[in-house]
Structure 1
Amino acid sequence: MVVEPHPPIEAPDADAAPPASAGRHRHDPANWTLAIGFAVVATIIGLIVLAWTILFVTKGRFLKPTFESIASRMTERQVKVAGDFQFYFDIIDARFVADGMTISNPTWASKPNFFEAKHIAARIKTIPVLFGERRAEWLVLDGGKVDAEWDAKKRNTWTFGDPNQKGEPFQWPTIGRADVTNTEVRYIDPQLFLRTDIKVGDIAAGDTRIDGKVPFTGTGTLRSKPFTMYGALLSPNSTVTFGRTRFEMHARSGPTYLDLNGTLPAATQIEGSDLNLKVHGPNVRLLFDFLGVAAPDTRNYWFTSKLTKAGGEWRFTRINGRYGASDLHGKMTISFPKDRLFLDAMFDSNLVDIIDVGPFIGYAPQALAAQGPQAAVAQTGGTPRILPDAPLRMESIRNFDAHILYKVKDFRNPKFPISNVDLTFDLDKSLMTLSPLSFDIAGGKLASDITINARVPAVITDYDIRLSPTPMSKLLAGFGVAQAGTTGTIKARIKMQGTGDTLRDSLATSNGRIAIILPKGTFWTQYVQLAEFDIGLFVQKLIQDKLKKPIEINCGLLGFTVRDGVAAADPILIDTDKNVMTATGGFSFKDESLDMNFRADGKKFSLFSGQSPVGIKGYFAQPGINIISPQLLTRGGVGLGLGLVASPLAAVLAFVDVGDAKAAACGPVLAGAQASAMRTKSGKPRKDVGKVGDNRQQAGDRKQPDKIGI
C-alpha cells in the first residue's frame, strides 16, 4: 500500500483578513425598531389585560376614592358613594355600580342634592363614549331622586362646572332598556311657570321589579294651572339592544284631556319618535294656555295627530278633528328660535259654521250658539250691544310669534253664501297681520288686509276691506230680495283706523271712510216701493196687485265719513228711474245707535207719495224703521182736514209729488266721492245731500280724503 505524502502546511499570511465567523451577524436598524415596537405593544396589551383582569376580579372597588375625587373636580360638585362601588370592563363595555350615590346641587338651588340613588347600575357602551356619545345598553335605578331646576338667571342644576354659568338644555343619555323603581323626579322652570313632581317606577311593588316596564305618575302646575298625568315606558323584552320602545301617557287638567302613545327610538330618546296624540275638551283656548299662546275661544273640540320631535322642532302632522260644528285638518310645528316660541301651521276645513267663527273676534262661544250675538257680549250703558268686547290677551301675544295659513271650503251662514276662505295670519313681536283675508261671497269676492299693532301701549288697528262687484240678487236673497228681476250689483270698501284692545273699542275710536256703491242695474223685492219710500204708490200697487216691475237703478252711493267712531252720511244718494233717494244722519260705533232719515224725491208726478223722511232708528242689536214719521202724520192730518172742508178729491192733494227731483251725475257717485263732489246730471252742485262741514260738526274736524278707491 502506497501512502501519499501530505502537502506541506503553509503559515498564514499576517496581512490577510481573517475569515468571517459563522456565529456573528450584522444588525438591521429597521428590524430592531420593529422588535422594540412589538415589545412595547405587547407590554401595553399585557398591562391592559392585567388591568382588565384586576378590574374584573376586584370589580374596580378600589377606584371609589379616585372616582369621587375626579368626578367632584370635573363637575365642581361634591360626588360621593356611601356604599358599594364597582367599575370594570365586561369584555369591552364598562359596567358601573354604585350604592348610596349623591351629586350635590349648586348653592342657589332649593335642595341640597341634584341626584341621589340607593342603587344604580349601568352597562355603558365604551366605543361611542370615545366619540362623545353618552349611550347605555341598560340602566337599573332604585330609590333615585332627581332635582332638575332652573332659576330666574337661566341657570340650572344639571349644567356642571361653574355654578353661575348659563344653563344648557338637558340632553338625556341614550338608554336602550331601563328598570327603574321608587324614583322621584322634580322639575321647576320659572320661565315657563312649570313645576312637576313625578314618581317613576313600580312604586307600589317595592323591591319587586316589572321586567321591561317603567311606569310613572305625576302632578304639577303649568302657568298656575294644575294637571295630573300617568303612563309608562314599555321597553322590549328582548336581547336586541336599542330597540324601539313603546310609550304611553295620559294627562288631565280640569276638563282638558290629553292621550299620547307610540314608540321611541330608545327609552329616553324623544328625537325621531313616532307618537299618536289625542286631545279633547270644551275650549281650545284652555289647551293653548299651557303654552302661553293666545288662541280663540271655541266650543267643544277633539283633535288627533301624529307627533314627533326633529331638530329641536315639535311636529304635529296629520291633524284631524272638529271644533263645535266645524272640521279642521292640517299640520303644525312648534319651535324655539332664539329662545322664543314660534308656531308655524297650515290648516284647512271643509265646512265651518258661522257660530264657530264668532269667538275669533271676541264673542262668547256657548252664549253665541245658544242665544245670539247680544247674549255673547257684555251689555253696558243701558243700551243693547252686539259688538264684541273681549280684549286681546296681551300677556300671551307677547310670548310667541306665528305664521298660520287657514283655508275653508264652505262656510255655513244663513244670510250670506260664503266659500273659499283664505286667511294668512302672522304675528311678529306683537304685530299681527291678517293679510290676505279673503273669501267668495254671493258671486263676488271680499278681500281685506287688517293690521293690529300691539307693540304700542294703545293697540292700533288698521282696516282695509274691499268687496268686488257682487250680485245683489244673491247677496241679499236672505233679506227678501228676489233673484229673478234683480240684475244690480254692489261693491264696497271700508278703510279705517282705530285704537283699543277690543273690537268694540277699536271701532268706537275709529277714523276713516265707508263707501258702498250700486252701479247701474235692476232691483226687485216684494216690497219694491218701500225701497223707494213712495208709500202712496206702494199702497196703490199693492191693492192693484201690480208689484211686478223692478226698480231701475242708475247709480247709488251709501257713503259715510267716520270720525272718532261716529259715521255721518257723506253722502247717501241713490238715483233710480223714478226717484232720487237721499239720507242724513248716521250711526255711532260708540253706543251702536242708529239715527238716519231717508227720503225720496220723485222725478215724475206721483199721486200717493209720502214726500216725508223715513227714519231708521234704534241700535245695531235692535234697529227700527219709522215709516209713519211726524211729517207724514202732519200731511195726513192736513189731507184729512181738506177732505172734511172741501171734498174727498182735495184730501189726496197733500200727497201729490210734483216730480222735480234732479237726476244725479253718476261719475262722483261711482267713485265713492264725498258729498261736496256730488253733482246733478247737468253738472250743478247738489243741494240735497248735506254738506261735509255739517258732518264734521257732528263727528270731529279732522280732514278726510275726498274718496277712497273702490
Structure 2
Amino acid sequence: TDLRALDVKLRLEGRTLKDLHKVTGIVLPDTPPYSIAGRLRREGESFVFDPFNGRIGDSDIAGAVTYSRGAKRPLFKADLRSKLLDFDDLGPLVGAPPKTGAGETASPEQRAKAQQMKASTRVLPRTPFITEKWDDMDADVKLVASRVQRPKQLPIDSLSTHLVLKDGVMRLEPLTFGVAGGKVVSRVTIDSRASPPLGDIRAEVEGLQLAKLFPTLKSMEDAFGKMYGSADLKGRGASIGELLATSNGTMVMTASGGRVSDLLTQLLEIDVAKAAMLLGTTKQQVDLRCAVGTFNVKDGVAATESFIVDTSETLVKVEGKIDLDEERLDLETRGRGKSPSALTLRTPVVLQGSFKKLSVHPKPGPLTAQMVVAGALAVVNPALAIVPFLDPGKKQDADCDKLIAEARRKGAMRPTKVASAGTR
C-alpha cells in the first residue's frame, strides 16, 4: 500500500499505550486505558498525528506527534498539553500503578499490581524500567499540565517536563512541579547502556509555602514560613527503588515558620502527643524558628551530618539514619528547653520503623534509670514521679541565619535571613 498520500482521521483506544509497540514499533509508557483521536498524515519520511486529543486514564491530553525514520534509529517527537492532569496517571511512568478506587481508571493488570503494592511492606516503586527497548528509537517529548488533579493533602498545582531519549540514555531536563506556591525542579538521567542502569537524580525544592503545603491543616493557614532543599544522588538499578537503594550523594533541607507539631503530625502521620515527644517538650503546640538538616548518603543509607530543629520551646538535635534500601528510619531526637519556665523531656526519643509504619517512643536505656528514680520519688510524693523525665530549660536559640546560610552553600536555595516564628 502506498502511504505517501496518507491523510486520515484516526481513533485509538486500548488498555495501555505500551501495547502499541507491537504494531508500530514505537516505545511508549505503560499507561492507564486511553482513548485518543486526531488527524494522521504522511509528510515526507515522517508520520504526523496532529492535531489530536482525548484521554489517558482520568487526564485530558492534546497536542502533536511526529514519528520519523532516521538513519540510525527512529525519532519520536511529541508536544503534549493537558488542562487537567490526574496525578495518579503518572504512577506507571515510575513503576507505580494508578489509583484504583472509585471513579479511577486502570486496566485489570494495573489493578492487580496496585493490590500487590498495597499488600507489600515497601513504598518505593520496584517495577523495572523496560530499558531493553530504549535503544529502539530516540525521543523528544514535552508535556505541560496547566492544572493537576490530586488528593487534598497533596498541594501540587502544575507540571511540566522535557523528556529526551537518545542512544539509550533518558533525561528529564527538567521535571518541574508547581507545589504549595513554590516548585520542585528535578533533573534525572538514566543510562540504560550500563548494567544495571546508572541513574543521576538532582532535585531542588524552591520556596514551598508552609501555609499551602498542608492544605487540610487549618492551624497552618497563617504560617508564613517556607521550605527549601536539594538532593544530589547517583545510583544503579533497574527501578526507582533500586536506584535510591544504591545511591550516594547528599540531601539538604531547611524550613522556618509554622507550628512544628502540626508539621510532624502530617509528615509522619503520628498524633500530636508523639510529635511533642519528638520535640522534647510537654507542650503539644510549639512554633518553628527553623529546621536545618544535612544528610550524607552512602550505599542507600542517608546518615545525618547535622540536623537541628529550633522551636519556641526547645532546641532539638536529630541523629540517625534513613535506609533507602530497607525503607526504614532509625532517628533519635534530643530536645533541650530554652528557659527555666519551660519544662521539657530529658529522655531522648526514638523515631523508627518502616516507611509504612513508624513508631515513636522514649529511648530504652536512659528511660530505665529514670524509672528507678521516678519510683523512689513516688514513694515520697506521687507528684514527684514525673521529675526525672523533665528538664528545666537553659538552652539558647540556634543561630538560624548561620545554619541556613551553611545549608544554602551545600545546595538548599534559601534566603540568608529567617524571620521570627509566629503568624502573619
Counterpart in 2 of 1:659?
393
Paired with 1:373 and 1:609, the residues of 2 have a C-alpha distance of 44
2:116 to 375, 393, 397: 375
8 A Cα contact 2:47 2:66, kept in partner: yes
2:253 to 516, 528, 546: 516
Paired with 1:568 and 1:450, the residues of 2 have a C-alpha distance of 23
CA shift, 1:344, in A, is 0.6
- Deviations along 1:187-230, one digit per CA (max 9) or x if unpaired, are xxxxxxxxxxxxxxxxxxxxxxxxxxxxxxxxxxxxxxxxxxxx
SS where residue 653 of structure 1 aligns?
helix
Q: Judging changes above 3 Å, is the alpha-carbon distance between structure 1 residues 457 and 530 closer, same or farther for their aligned structure 2 residues? A: closer
8 A Cα contact 2:155 2:215, kept in partner: no
Q: Judging changes above 3 Å, is the alpha-carbon distance between structure 1 residues 328 and 629 closer, same or farther for their aligned structure 2 residues? A: farther
8 A Cα contact 1:557 1:573, kept in partner: yes
CA shift, 1:532, in A, is 4.8
Q: TM-score w.r.t. structure 2 length? A: 0.84
Amino acid at match of 2:7: D
2:42 is equivalent to residue 309 of structure 1: yes
2:309 is equivalent to residue 571 of structure 1: no
2:36 is equivalent to residue 319 of structure 1: no
2:235 is equivalent to residue 498 of structure 1: yes
CA shift, 1:510, in A, is 0.5
2:19 is equivalent to residue 286 of structure 1: yes
Q: Judging changes above 3 Å, is the alpha-carbon distance between structure 1 residues 356 and 363 closer, same or farther for their aligned structure 2 residues? A: same
Identity over the aligned pairs, expressed in percent?
Answer: 27
TM alignment of 1:357-376, pairs within 5 A: 357-365=90-98, 375-376=116-117
Paired with 1:575 and 1:286, the residues of 2 have a C-alpha distance of 53
Amino acid at match of 1:407: V
8 A Cα contact 2:281 2:335, kept in partner: no
2:134 is equivalent to residue 392 of structure 1: no
2:39 is equivalent to residue 298 of structure 1: no
Paired with 2:18 and 2:212, the residues of 1 have a C-alpha distance of 36
CA shift, 1:276, in A, is 0.9
- Deviations along 1:523-577, one digit per CA (max 9) or x if unpaired, are 2666777545366633xxx7xxxx6xx51x3322122110010001121101223
8 A Cα contact 1:587 1:595, kept in partner: yes
- Deviations along 1:469-517, one digit per CA (max 9) or x if unpaired, are 1111211334x46233422211111111111221111111110111110
TM alignment of 1:97-108, pairs within 5 A: none
8 A Cα contact 2:281 2:314, kept in partner: no
2:168 is equivalent to residue 430 of structure 1: yes
The number of aligned residues is 395
Counterpart in 2 of 1:350?
83
Paired with 1:373 and 1:668, the residues of 2 have a C-alpha distance of 45
SS where residue 76 of structure 2 aligns?
strand
Paired with 2:261 and 2:207, the residues of 1 have a C-alpha distance of 20
Counterpart in 1 of 2:282?
537
TM alignment of 1:77-116, pairs within 5 A: none
8 A Cα contact 1:488 1:523, kept in partner: no
CA shift, 1:322, in A, is 1.1
Paired with 2:406 and 2:15, the residues of 1 have a C-alpha distance of 46
Q: Judging changes above 3 Å, is the alpha-carbon distance between structure 1 residues 671 and 378 closer, same or farther for their aligned structure 2 residues? A: farther
Counterpart in 2 of 1:227?
none
Counterpart in 1 of 2:339?
604
Amino acid at match of 2:46: E
TM alignment of 1:249-268, pairs within 5 A: none
Segments of 5+ residues of structure 2 without an aligned counterpart are 105-110, 263-270, 414-424
Moved more, 568-577 or 363-372: 363-372
Segments of 5+ residues of structure 1 without an aligned counterpart are 1-267, 675-705
TM alignment of 1:539-688, pairs within 5 A: 551=287, 553-606=288-341, 608-626=343-361, 631-632=366-367, 635-636=370-371, 638-644=373-379, 646-673=380-407
Paired with 1:366 and 1:530, the residues of 2 have a C-alpha distance of 30
SS where residue 388 of structure 2 aligns?
helix
Counterpart in 2 of 1:218?
none
8 A Cα contact 1:281 1:300, kept in partner: yes
Q: Judging changes above 3 Å, is the alpha-carbon distance between structure 1 residues 274 and 371 closer, same or farther for their aligned structure 2 residues? A: closer
- Deviations along 1:119-156, one digit per CA (max 9) or x if unpaired, are xxxxxxxxxxxxxxxxxxxxxxxxxxxxxxxxxxxxxx
CA shift, 1:456, in A, is 2.6
Amino acid at match of 1:708: G
Amino acid at match of 2:384: A
Larger Rg: 1
CA shift, 1:634, in A, is 5.1
8 A Cα contact 1:388 1:504, kept in partner: yes
Paired with 2:60 and 2:223, the residues of 1 have a C-alpha distance of 35
Amino acid at match of 1:319: F
8 A Cα contact 1:485 1:524, kept in partner: no
CA shift, 1:610, in A, is 2.1
Paired with 2:258 and 2:362, the residues of 1 have a C-alpha distance of 24
8 A Cα contact 2:344 2:392, kept in partner: no
Q: Judging changes above 3 Å, is the alpha-carbon distance between structure 1 residues 348 and 589 closer, same or farther for their aligned structure 2 residues? A: same
CA RMSD of aligned residues (A): 2.8
Paired with 1:374 and 1:583, the residues of 2 have a C-alpha distance of 36
Counterpart in 2 of 1:85?
none
Q: TM-score w.r.t. structure 1 length? A: 0.52
Counterpart in 1 of 2:268?
none
SS where residue 243 of structure 2 aligns?
helix
8 A Cα contact 1:451 1:463, kept in partner: yes
Paired with 2:119 and 2:391, the residues of 1 have a C-alpha distance of 47
CA shift, 1:296, in A, is 2.0
Counterpart in 2 of 1:333?
66
SS where residue 223 of structure 2 aligns?
coil
CA shift, 1:398, in A, is 0.7
Moved more, 401-410 or 612-621: 612-621
TM alignment of 1:25-104, pairs within 5 A: none
8 A Cα contact 2:292 2:309, kept in partner: yes
Amino acid at match of 1:295: L
Paired with 1:373 and 1:640, the residues of 2 have a C-alpha distance of 51
